[in-house]
Amino acid sequence: MLAGQVLKVCSLSVKIGQWNQFLKDSTERRRIHCTKMKWLKRIGAGFAGFFRGYSFISRNGLWLYVILPSLASFVCGLLIFGAVYWQASDLLVGLVQRFAESWGWLLLFLARAAAAVLAAVVYVILYRTVASVIVLPFLGPLLLKTEKILIGREVEVTWKRDLINAVKGMWISIVYGIFSLFVIVVTLPLGPLQALIVFPLQGYFSGRSIFDFILEKEAATLKERSRLAADYRPEILGMGSAYLMVMLIPVFGPLFGPAAALTASAEIYYRKKTG
């Protein structure tokens, strides 16, 4: 009789333990699900935030501060794309004319199309590096006005720190560019599925290159800047993905993409910082 009661108690204890474990697992699954949904929501907020950058500029009458950076950005993008396309087209067309005797017109068309795709890829990668030195400094007055509107003051830095930040920004952009090129080459065997890896990566790097222009005023070291950026990763990914998509639009992208990305980044950063 006693043995039977002991067995019942043990069986009940096992069931209670299994139930507790089930509750723990369910709670953990709900936590992970909530975290994923929160990340997706923040990515979406960053994506939408980029396009709010245009309305922010219009609402506050800041287009005058966009003209010079837009022209610098357009010329920069045009030179990069044009130079790469010209060189790649000459090389590929030359190979076709040398080795292809039949279907020459089709191969010439494909060669020029391939040159355009290659120029677009190099443009996306190289633009970040060049823009950090040539384009973003022209956006300084726009950022100061944006800061004045958002937090009531302009965040000034010394010329020495500005120069150091520019060098650091260029170095980071070079590292991003090399890593991006490596990922593109490694994922080539994936074919169309390559975009699922390359686009989010390029989107994040594009967003981070703009976001760093704000963070470099807040942090004196790269380590501190990375720590601050970690709190905004979903928003950077969303904003950068929208920025990357717009930058691929001929003329309009290079003209107005960087200004919208900068104001969007400032709005995302300072609104979260100030609560």
Beta carbons within 8 Å of 229's beta carbon, 6+ residues apart = 208, 211, 212, 215, 236
- Tell me the C-alpha distance between 50 and 56, whole Å: 10
- Tell me the C-alpha distance between 166 and 154, whole Å: 19
Give the CA angle between residues 118, 120, 122 to the nearest 5°.
Answer: 70
Q: What is the residue-wise DSSP string for 108-139?
A: HHHHHHHHHHHHHHHHHHHHHHHHHHTTGGGG
Q: From the centroid of its chain, how far is CA 28?
A: 30
- pLDDT tens track for 31-68: 665 677 788 999 999 999 999 999 999 999 999 898 88
Closest to 241 (Cα-Cα) out of 36, 50, 38, 41 = 50
DSSP-assigned letter for residue 156: -
List the pLDDT tens digit at each of the 275 positions of the chain.
Answer: 555 555 555 565 656 656 566 556 555 555 665 677 788 999 999 999 999 999 999 999 999 898 888 888 888 888 888 888 888 888 877 777 776 655 566 777 787 888 888 888 778 777 766 776 677 778 888 999 999 999 999 888 777 777 777 777 777 777 887 888 888 888 878 877 888 888 899 889 889 988 988 988 888 777 888 898 999 999 999 999 999 899 888 888 888 888 999 999 999 999 888 86
- Tell me the C-alpha distance between 147 and 136, whole Å: 16
Q: Where are the domains of the chain?
A: 44-72+122-273
Beta carbons within 8 Å of 176's beta carbon, 6+ residues apart = 128, 129, 205, 208, 209
